[in-house]
Structure 1
Amino acid sequence: MEDTRPHVLAVDDNPENLDVLIGLLEADYKLSVATSGARALELAARATPDLILLDIMMPEMDGFEVCRRLKEHELLRDVPVIFISALERVDEKVKAFTYGGVDYVTKPFQPEELSVRISTHLTLQRVQRELENQNAHLDELVRRKSRELAEAHDRLALANATKRDFLRLISHEMRTPTNGILGIADLMFECCPDNLEVTQMRPLFDEARQRMLETLENALLLAQVHVSKEDFHVDSIALERLLSAASRKATELVCDTGVSFDAPPVGEAQIVGDEEMLQTALTSLLQTAAAFSEPGSRVAIDMEGEAEFVSIELVARGIALDACAAESFFEVFSNARSRTAAESLGLKPPVAERIISLYGGGVQIESLPEAGVEIKIILKKHCPVPVQ
């Protein structure tokens, strides 16, 4: 009968340590052992394990180098690696996560603790594979639907293309926050004492979780804007009221930076669009301006009216933006934002640009000669049709 138990590869140059691991794991797992990094890579390439227990201090090839090579291997890069080491320094633990480890256990370890950590990461690995299979299944459904609607209206064809982009978007944007969660969640919640190290890790976990939720929400909104643009509500909105509400919300979101915003200019301009969606867009663009501002500074807000459009200029001073990043700043799949002060905003800037464009406007961002940026927002005015 085929052995269906999870396959664990234990790597340690000390045979006594391996004996302890064998005694602990052999009843519940299909176990392979290696006493060197080279042998570990050979066994892993021959039969992909579900999880690897990896010692750091080994001759010839240490655990960090073994992990680095595993992550370069197409079939092994997703195998979770738990480092086991007598090294207790924080910098060694940070290095372990940097090289791709999902957990770090110090020797001498408690058998019950190690068992729980192994079980937890095997469960996470299984769930991740199930999600990948579901995504593959959804990809196939989208492709099949695209073939069925090949001769349909152009708008339906756009909807199907957006669905494919949406799946790619979720896969791409979730990877960074998910890796953060997988890397530190166990340190936060699995039998960890309340100490300084745990306290330092907690904000990282909270940030990754929040980033993932915001990415999902913004990705769904982005797909809606592309697929159902004709279905969004259009009304006449007082710009002063809209900008004031967005400014209040943005002030709450950036309160920890001390950045503030000028009072919105007084005016009677009426613009077209959905008030809730445009408030979301303006709030995100104010957040973007705050991201390029010196802590404690003020973002200037100016407004100019034209015949059919009104222009809002946000001027932030403090952090520079290079010209190349500015060109692709609002592109959905651009990595330019990740190299700027607005990296933490995720999809908010491109979603805001799509909403503004949906109602006939546009957004541009430019670097100022001195450090800082200028964000120009064009909104379409509401122009009542004259009664004949």
Structure 2
Amino acid sequence: METMIGLPFTPKVLIVDDKPYDVKILEMKLREVGCQVAIATDGLSAIEETRKFKPHLVLLDIRLPDIDGYEVCKRLKNDADLKEIPVLFISAYGDVTDKVRGFESGAVDYISKPYEFEEIFARVKTHLMLRSLQIQLEEQNKRLEMLVEEKTKELVEVNKKLAMLDATKNELLQLVANDLRTPLTGLFSVLDSLIYEELKDQLTKDQLKAYDKAKQQMLSTLEDALLLTQIDVSNTDRVYGEIPIQQVIKQALNNVRPIATSKSVSIVECEAKDFKIFGDQNLLTRAFTALFEIAIRFSARHERIQLQLGTFDHHIELSVYVIGYTIPPDYIGTFFDLSSSARLNILGGELGIKPAIVHRIIALNGGSISVKNEGPAGVLFIIKFPFI
């Protein structure tokens, strides 16, 4: 007789039958093929023995002195600790109705009496192998769950450390920006006095203009850096809500009109439309202001900047078309990146970090921005926001 080979454990089988002769023969045969065997002679003791013995498989007769095998099987399947143990019915009741009822109660197989032990052995071995695979899978899942839990804890700790480092970095940047503002203001005050009072007659108009430009660019970059760190550090001061986009555009245009006037650039406003977006109005106004400043930098003198507002593909879309300078093709893909060298190589570095600020604020408020060259001497910025 073949033994229960190929199993990573010694199989444990519970026999539930009230017929001593049948039990004795079945027990002897199962032990011969390497099984540990326990016996129960009624339904209630079968359930109790299953809890204690923890068999890998139950051979269950239908006719028992107290509760029948169907009820025993149902109770085993309703027990969270026992429901995975396969149950095979062995019974003289061989009608289709009896077999269907057995399967409905939760059994995995049904063997009719009288039987040949070779048949029982083949079926028992098959279900023990299936049970073995199930146990291995359960153990593997537990190991994976433990591994996932362990790695999750590690990631949580790493994220905590990264958050602390990021917060420290942002606090340091804020500190540097704030600490630089006061001494720079004092320094430029002294320089203004020196240049415009004592050295004015010794300097050309171009030199004075270059000084003013460098001064404004340095102070603007410092303010932009401070704003960028404020965006990254916390969202506690942000107030989100529905905003008329036309109102944001109008306020931003008012902010940049002096710059546009100084360059003789006119801005053709878009037609008033009652579109609303969701976001922080203060931040979005600053983003649009920065974008319009960028547009003015790209514009040639005495040219016009064209704004258009509409809806496309389920989005609210604002386009800003500028005639003047274009973006070198190598820098279009990284135009809005803070670390990109584009900001240093386009328009003599006049843009500073404004493109990065515009991109971050718009993304933070659920929108997107893109840029491309349009024609031989034009740039087109497109901002999109979802409908609300």
TM-score (structure 1 length as normaliser)? 0.51
Check the 8 A contact 1:288/1:342 in 2, yes or no.
no
Deviation at 1:190, TM superposition (A): 11
Distance in 2 between residues matched to 1:262 and 1:233, nearest whole Å? 30
Check if 1:313 corresponds to 2:319: yes
Distance in 2 between residues matched to 1:297 and 1:155, nearest whole Å? 51
Closer, same or farther: CA 220–264 of 1 in aligned 2, 3 Å: same
Deviation at 1:159, TM superposition (A): 6.1
Check if 1:157 corresponds to 2:162: yes
Residue 336 (structure 1) aligns with: 342
What amino acid is the match of 1:328?
T
Closer, same or farther: CA 225–293 of 1 in aligned 2, 3 Å: same
Of 268, 284, 293 in structure 2, the residue corresponding to residue 287 of structure 1 is 293
Check if 1:225 corresponds to 2:241: no
Distance in 2 between residues matched to 1:268 and 1:261, nearest whole Å? 20
What amino acid is the match of 1:160?
L
Distance in 2 between residues matched to 1:318 and 1:193, nearest whole Å? 35
Deviations 1:227-262 (A, max 9, x none): 214652101111112112212222222211111111
Deviation at 1:370, TM superposition (A): 1.6
Residue 254 (structure 1) aligns with: 260
Check if 1:360 corresponds to 2:359: no
Distance in 1 between residues matched to 2:193 and 2:236, nearest whole Å? 47
Deviation at 1:360, TM superposition (A): 0.7
Check the 8 A contact 1:162/1:223 in 2, yes or no.
no
Closer, same or farther: CA 237–190 of 1 in aligned 2, 3 Å: closer
Of 338, 363, 380 in structure 2, the residue corresponding to residue 374 of structure 1 is 380
Closer, same or farther: CA 246–236 of 1 in aligned 2, 3 Å: same
Check the 8 A contact 1:362/1:377 in 2, yes or no.
yes
Check the 8 A contact 1:293/1:318 in 2, yes or no.
yes
Superposition RMSD on alpha carbons, in Å? 3.5
Deviation at 1:358, TM superposition (A): 0.6
Deviations 1:78-124 (A, max 9, x none): xxxxxxxxxxxxxxxxxxxxxxxxxxxxxxxxxxxxxxxxxxxxxxx
Check the 8 A contact 1:229/1:358 in 2, yes or no.
no
Check the 8 A contact 2:173/2:229 in 1, yes or no.
no
SS at match of 1:376: strand
Closer, same or farther: CA 194–208 of 1 in aligned 2, 3 Å: closer
Deviations 1:266-324 (A, max 9, x none): 21111111212111111111121122222111111112225753111111112121221
Check if 1:201 corresponds to 2:207: yes
Matches within 5 A, 1:255-270: 255-270=261-276
What amino acid is the match of 1:375?
F
Residue 151 (structure 2) aligns with: none
SS at match of 2:310: strand
Question: Higher Cα Rg: structure 1 or 2?
Answer: 2
Closer, same or farther: CA 193–283 of 1 in aligned 2, 3 Å: closer
Matches within 5 A, 1:57-68: none
Count of aligned pairs between the two proteins:
226
Deviation at 1:365, TM superposition (A): 1.1
Check the 8 A contact 1:289/1:314 in 2, yes or no.
yes
Deviations 1:169-208 (A, max 9, x none): 969xx9xxx9xx89x9599459944414265433333333
Residue 280 (structure 2) aligns with: 274
Check the 8 A contact 1:320/1:372 in 2, yes or no.
yes
Deviation at 1:337, TM superposition (A): 2.0
SS at match of 2:350: helix
Deviations 1:153-181 (A, max 9, x none): 8488346326437857969xx9xxx9xx8
Check if 1:236 corresponds to 2:233: no
Check the 8 A contact 1:243/1:279 in 2, yes or no.
yes
What amino acid is the match of 2:276?
Q
What amino acid is the match of 1:297?
E
Deviation at 1:333, TM superposition (A): 1.9
Matches within 5 A, 1:114-129: none
Distance in 2 between residues matched to 1:257 and 1:272, nearest whole Å? 33
Check the 8 A contact 2:173/2:226 in 1, yes or no.
no
Residue 221 (structure 2) aligns with: 215
Distance in 1 between residues matched to 2:345 and 2:246, nearest whole Å? 33
What amino acid is the match of 2:166?
A
Residue 351 (structure 1) aligns with: 357
SS at match of 1:236: strand
What amino acid is the match of 1:215?
T
SS at match of 1:302: strand
What amino acid is the match of 1:288?
I
What amino acid is the match of 1:270?
K
SS at match of 1:258: coil
Identity of counterpart residues, as a percentage? 24
Closer, same or farther: CA 162–363 of 1 in aligned 2, 3 Å: farther
Residue 107 (structure 1) aligns with: none
